Chains A and B, each alone.
Chain A
């Protein structure tokens, strides 16, 4: 593996991209989960799929678009979708969660239309759905690197605000926190990360990389900080293990990454059960 990693550029691209996504997706995931918004990631990933299908469609009919990286189309759709979700949440004040199925089905609808208009794609749509070890280009890597840095800086500066708003929004507002602005920046950040994660984990599995590691860490973390740390740890284990096994077994990495993340969750639950039995003296 190490040897191939030194030799092949596409493997380097995939690994570095994977490591970056394994870092930022769980960090955002922690805030998504504690704010009970886990489904937002799903809604956004489906709208991202619409954006990718649209880019591929453009590329098929107008050659001038064929060199355009579909990641950009995905980003535009994803960010637009996130803004729509925020808007819908304020329209349906007492049914905020309605925004999610609305955007999700809209995303799927758009994707289906674009895909059938293109009469299928010669390009590997499969790779976008379930991830790919070989499809990550240098340009993809650079985009992921840029967005990752942006996300890390954003979370660093917004940490206190996000903590307050996630824990006790009303209290945050009594401290004069610009809650609307912070929520807005946060959801746009989530949208961007979902769009860039698709090359590795695939659209259909992005949200699980945001939620599964968090679901594991929330069971054992003793503090919020520890929860972030453990989520990143579990996320990275899943990504690294997933990429290696996908490479050797010739599988789509989205599948292997998510299965490993689910396996970690299972271990954590077992560990908790054993610990509980031990403590209750049985």
Chain B
């Protein structure tokens, strides 16, 4: 098996909501086993790019291939997991338990029309353990804190055993200690299960220590390369791209530190 199989290919992509182009001429390839971080200032089009890849927005110009297939023909959505930026924009009045929410992540794997199999409880607990939320199994989702809800949604994405996992700012609202634990979990999934990861984040300080590739997006793709290249990427360039000073930590003893 070819390990460098491209999982996501973005070609000549342009996108605009109404007048102004939000994404311009994006070229991006994510290979199997990559752990890609997309960084960029607010409003730079990061979430828009993810939504296009996930088929939530319609492609206007350009092309996207998922697992080698053009997006319009891609049907194997069970291979793709997603945790959205507005993970807590779900229907708050919905009286569902954590168990029911995480289980719903299996919908595509098990078949939309089939009842859940008996092994489901075990799988739900396993997924919750990965995010250290197993003790909340039968709690109401609306009663959890924002960070706890976020972890439940990560578990919901993990339970379907995705081959490609896409997370939009998953560490927002999660405390520092758990941010490290979160990245450890992602690295583990990436190394042990070979899951390809795309994550949008503002953790620019630590990111190059955690991921294999970095992409800097601000309407255009300013930089795309592996994390050691990213460390070489001129600090001034990055700061001007962000519009303010940005530090990249390259010393090991500062690993895990948050800004």
Contact = CB atoms under 8 A, between A and B. Distances in A.
Contacts of B108: 175-177
B107 A170 contact: no
B91 A168 contact: yes
Contacts of B94: 34, 166-167, 224
Interface in A139-186: 157-158, 160-161, 163-164, 166-168, 170-171, 173-177
A167 B95 contact: no
Contacts of A160: 104, 107, 112-113
A174 B107 contact: no
A233 B96 CA distance: 19
Contacts, number: 76
Contact of B56 (A35, A173, A225): A173
A176 B71 CA distance: 11
B91 A222 contact: no
Contacts of A67: none
Interface string B71-112: 000010110101010000011011111011100100110001
B96 A224 contact: yes
B140 interface: yes
A171 B77 contact: no
A174 B100 contact: no
B233 interface: no
A20 interface: no
B9 interface: no
Contacts of B101: 167
B173 interface: no
A157 B93 contact: no
Contacts of B222: none
A223 B77 contact: no
Given A222-B138, A223-B97, A167 B78 contact: no
B55 interface: yes
A36 B91 CA distance: 10
B54 interface: yes
A167 B93 CA distance: 9
B78 A175 contact: yes
A224 B94 CA distance: 8
Given A168-B90, A222-B140, A174 B82 contact: yes
With most chain B CB atoms within 10 A of its CB, the pick from A34, A36, A176 is A176
A184 B190 CA distance: 39
Chain A interface mostly: helix
Q: Chain A CB within 10 Å — which of B78, B84, B101, B112 has the most?
A: B112
Contacts of B99: 223
A80 B193 CA distance: 51
Contacts of B156: 171
A223 B55 contact: no
A200 B195 CA distance: 56
Contact of B113 (A157, A174, A175): A157
Nearest to B109: A175
- Give the interface centre of B93, B94, B113 by most chain A CB atoms within 10 Å: B94
Contacts of B140: 222-223
A171 B93 contact: no
Given A161-B112, A164-B104, A164-B107, A175 B77 contact: yes
Interface in B126-158: 138, 140, 156
A44 interface: no
B77 A34 contact: no
Interface in A29-76: 34-36
Interface string B33-46: 00000000000000
B95 A218 contact: yes
A238 B156 CA distance: 38
Given A223-B96, A224-B95, A170 B84 contact: yes
27 contacts: A34-B91, A34-B93, A35-B91, A160-B107, A160-B112, A161-B107, A161-B112, A166-B91, A167-B91, A168-B90, A171-B90, A171-B156, A173-B55, A174-B55, A174-B56, A174-B80, A175-B77, A175-B78, A175-B108, A176-B75, A176-B78, A218-B93, A218-B95, A222-B140, A223-B97, A224-B96, A225-B100
Interface of B: 54-56, 75, 77-78, 80, 82, 84, 90-91, 93-97, 99-101, 104, 107-108, 112-113, 138, 140, 156
Interface of A: 34-36, 157-158, 160-161, 163-164, 166-168, 170-171, 173-177, 218, 221-225, 227
Given A170-B84, A174-B84, 13 more contacts: A160-B104, A160-B113, A161-B112, A163-B96, A168-B90, A174-B54, A174-B77, A176-B108, A222-B95, A222-B140, A223-B97, A224-B96, A224-B100
